[in-house]
Amino acid sequence: MNVDPKRTVAELKELREMTGDANGAQRVAFTDIWVRTREWLKAKLAALPVEVHTDEAGNLWATLKGDSPRALLIGGHMDSVPNGGWLDGCLNVLGGLEVLRRICAEFNGRPPVTVRLVDWADEEGARFGKSLFGSSACSGSLNMDEARGLRDRDGITLPDALKRMGIDFERVKESRKELTNAAAYLELHIEQGPVLLDLNKPLGAVLGTFGVERHAITFRGQAAHSGSTPMNRRRDAFLAAARMSEEIYRIAARSGNGVCTIGSCKTEPGIVTSVVAECTITLDQRHLDASALARMLAEAKKASERFAKEGGVEVEWRRLWQIEPRPFHPELIDMCDASIQETCGISHRLPSGPLHDAAEPCGVGIPTVMMFTQSLHGISHNKIEDTKEEHLEQSVVAFDRLASRAMEWVTGNS
């Protein structure tokens, strides 16, 4: 029994036709187009002997009951950012659908272990600025107090938007019961970066999602007249901040696989005729290894203190957000790698810079792995997001092989 990867590509195109426009995909979560997308998906699932329901957090589950209640989960997200690409998220749901079809056919509707496809609700967080909504509600990591107050651009709160979808915000964490028998979690996704493209490799086995440290760093000096203040008498907050800009490249280089970004810079008084009195930059640091991430953060703090001291300014750090690295399961990584080798003759192991829903089941101890498909241009969250059809087809075949291996592994472990 084999998957039909061409059918997945055809369905991806059908979805693009139905939910995209000249600016890209428009499947923003909790909108009419997203609801229509789900109806379309449910119609496809109706052809299979699966039980379909939506949980308390709005995640859609399709369950193929097996001899064992222990379940292999395959997850993805049908939602997109506004003006998004045609593959982000939905490649996995539709690839997973194809895998589910193959398993149904091969085992006559009754595989040895239960297999479940999940379409997580609002992975992107495009409307409320909170990504991984459905999966974090399900894993229990969602911060209820913070989420309760989120508003979209029109002032509508997240609980109100959910209510319109028939979802009671106060009960979203009851979806946790869906994970009761979860024995493994698999997710296929486009890479959204240039690593596989630069290596000329179609697919990669993902080692885990990066841990993230996100901070605001404020340097405080003194405003002074730009004409009357000699250069040696200045306490220039911008100079100290600017020296961080080069330093983070050295810190990242020393860390191995880590990345650092200064994404914003705000100056006060922010006028052309004054030395900068106060400068706030934001620093985003990511690494797959927790101790390496801690070292990157410590080095950045030390450098900021040195630059502050040398420039006669003060420095203050404020943490904006943080998440631990989520390393995936070593045996599943090996299975993923082997499935890619078998399909493409070549493989690669790489960490994931972006967060994905997979981080949530992984965070509650469910053995997890992801497979990446090469992204052309190394670009995503953009209508130009694309992948060669040949690579899309290979990804469905390799992912199906991974699902077979994972099913055997789950059976052997039960």
Work out whether 76 is an interface residue with Zn ion (CB under 5 A): no
Please choose, from the candidates 283, 306, 299, the residue with its C-alpha nearest in 3D space to the C-alpha of residue 218: 283
Distance separating alpha carbons of residues 298 and 320, to the nearest angstrom:
16
Residue 73's Cβ-count burial label (10 Å; 0-12, 13-18, 19+) is: buried
Closest separation in Å from C-beta 123 to Zn ion: 6
Closest separation in Å from C-beta 190 to Zn ion: 8
Number of residues that bind Zn ion (CB under 5 A): 2
Confirm if 227 and 412 have CB atoms less than 8 A apart.
Answer: no
> Whose CB is nearest to Zn ion?
89
Binders of Zn ion in range 323-362 (CB under 5 A):
none
Which residue number, 122 or 247, has a Cβ lying nearer to Zn ion?
122
Residue where the block lists tokens 């989120």? 150
Which residue number, 111 or 134, has a Cβ lying nearer to Zn ion?
134
Q: Beta-strand (E) ranges in 105-190?
A: 113-119, 182-190
Which residue number, 88 or 119, has a Cβ lying nearer to Zn ion?
88
Closest separation in Å from C-beta 295 to Zn ion: 29
Closest separation in Å from C-beta 392 to Zn ion: 15
- In three-state secondary structure terms, 46 is coil
Residue selected from 55, 56, 79, 88 as contacting Zn ion according to rule CB under 5 A: 88
Closest separation in Å from C-beta 179 to Zn ion: 20
Residue selected from 75, 89, 204, 363 as contacting Zn ion according to rule CB under 5 A: 89
Region of 16-24, 61-69, 85-93, 313-321 interacting with Zn ion (CB under 5 A) = 85-93
Region of 59-67, 89-97, 125-133, 284-292 interacting with Zn ion (CB under 5 A) = 89-97
Handedness of CA 343, 344, 349, 353 (dihedral sign): negative
Which residue number, 89 or 96, has a Cβ lying nearer to Zn ion?
89
Alpha helices in 68-172 (DSSP H): 90-106, 133-139, 144-148, 158-164
Region of 88-96, 204-212, 259-267, 270-278 interacting with Zn ion (CB under 5 A) = 88-96
Closest separation in Å from C-beta 382 to Zn ion: 13
Give the strand pairing for 368-373 and 182-190: parallel
Distance separating alpha carbons of residues 126 and 131, to the nearest angstrom:
7
Which residue number, 86 or 169, has a Cβ lying nearer to Zn ion?
86
Please choose, from the candidates 250, 267, 187, 251, the residue with its C-alpha nearest in 3D space to the C-alpha of residue 213: 251
Closest separation in Å from C-beta 347 to Zn ion: 21
Distance separating alpha carbons of residues 75 and 12, to the nearest angstrom:
16
Assigned token pair, 259: 């990345």
Binding residues for Zn ion (CB under 5 A):
88-89
